[in-house]
Amino acid sequence: MNFFNTEVNQISESKDFQVSSASLKEVRAFTRDVFKKISLPQEQKDELVLAIAEAAQNIVKHAYKDVEETKDKMQIKISLKNDQLEIGFFDKGKPVVPENIQHRKLDDIKPGGLGTFFIKQIMDEAIFKKNQKGWVNHLVLTKTI
Amino acid sequence: MTYKITEEGNISTVFLDGEIDMDVTEKAKEIILPLVEAGKEVHLNLKDVSYMDSSGISVLIESHQKALEKGTKVIVKEVSKSVLKVIMMAKLEQILNLG
């Protein structure tokens, strides 16, 4: 269920997406729609869209690694309270071991491994929370905007 | 993502259009890498690419590295502001040939 408070500094919206690379376009569209309601420089909105899309991509690429096709959904929840932006990602893929998540060193030029780096560059914090009912992984990205 | 290719001598210019993400990475590679494999100098015109994520950046890196192997080059041209920002975030502006 989506809920939208019309106050500019308070938002809580969520949406489910099919776990598929084809959904990433929809993830960006949803994110852009939510950010239209927030007063922020466009450049910062673009960065946040990138961070959210990268986190969604990580679900498809890593939590569902070696899964050809799935009917599973992932959920993205964007919340803003005053200047605190929180984005939650929920999925039912393989359990993530946070200690194993590392971006590649930037001077090791090779394809891949940049998504997590972008997320860390853009957001203040990225943490996995435990014990989410009905979900396996719950990533929370936060940023003071 | 859509594309157009023009040829002039040994230079193939690939005009990419739209958003480049994980969903179109394979398609982008299928367009670019055969040209590089054929020893062409490839100009990637990104003026109409409005969004690129880490998967798109990987295509640029792979194309660049393949070109080095083949003794040719890939030049990234007319990069839109939003894509340039992502390239710079990855600290690749000195690595990729930005023309």
Interface predicted TM-score (ipTM) of this complex, two decimals: 0.93
Residues of B in contact with A110 (CB under 8 A): 61, 65
Distance (Å, whole) CA A124 – CA A122: 7
Is B19 in contact with A28 (Cβ distance < 8 A)? yes
Best of A23, A25, A122 to disrupt the B interface by mutation (most B CBs within 10 Å)? A25
The yes-or-no verdict on residue A93 having pLDDT over 90 is: yes
Domain that holds residue B27: 2-98
- The string of DSSP codes covering A55-80 is HHHHIIIIITTT------EEEEEEEE
List the beta bridge partners of residue A139: A89, A128
Is A109 in contact with B55 (Cβ distance < 8 A)? no
Closest CA to B92 of B58, B66, B67: B58
* Number of domains forming the structure of chain B: 1
Distance (Å, whole) CA A70 – CA A55: 18
Q: What is the mean pLDDT of each run of 10 residues along chain B (99 residues)?
A: 96 98 96 98 97 96 96 97 94 92
Residue A130: pLDDT band (50, 70, 90) is confident
Closest CA to A55 of A80, A78, A82, A38: A78
The yes-or-no verdict on residue A3 having pLDDT over 70 is: no
The yes-or-no verdict on residue A5 having pLDDT over 70 is: no
Residue A108: pLDDT band (50, 70, 90) is confident
Q: Cα–Cα–Cα angle for A53, A55, A60, nearest 5°?
A: 90
Indicate the domain borders of chain A. Answer: 10-144
The CATH code for residues A10-144 is 3.30.565.10
**Entry pTM:** 0.92
CATH number at residue B26: 3.30.750.24
Distance (Å, whole) CA B49 – CA B46: 5
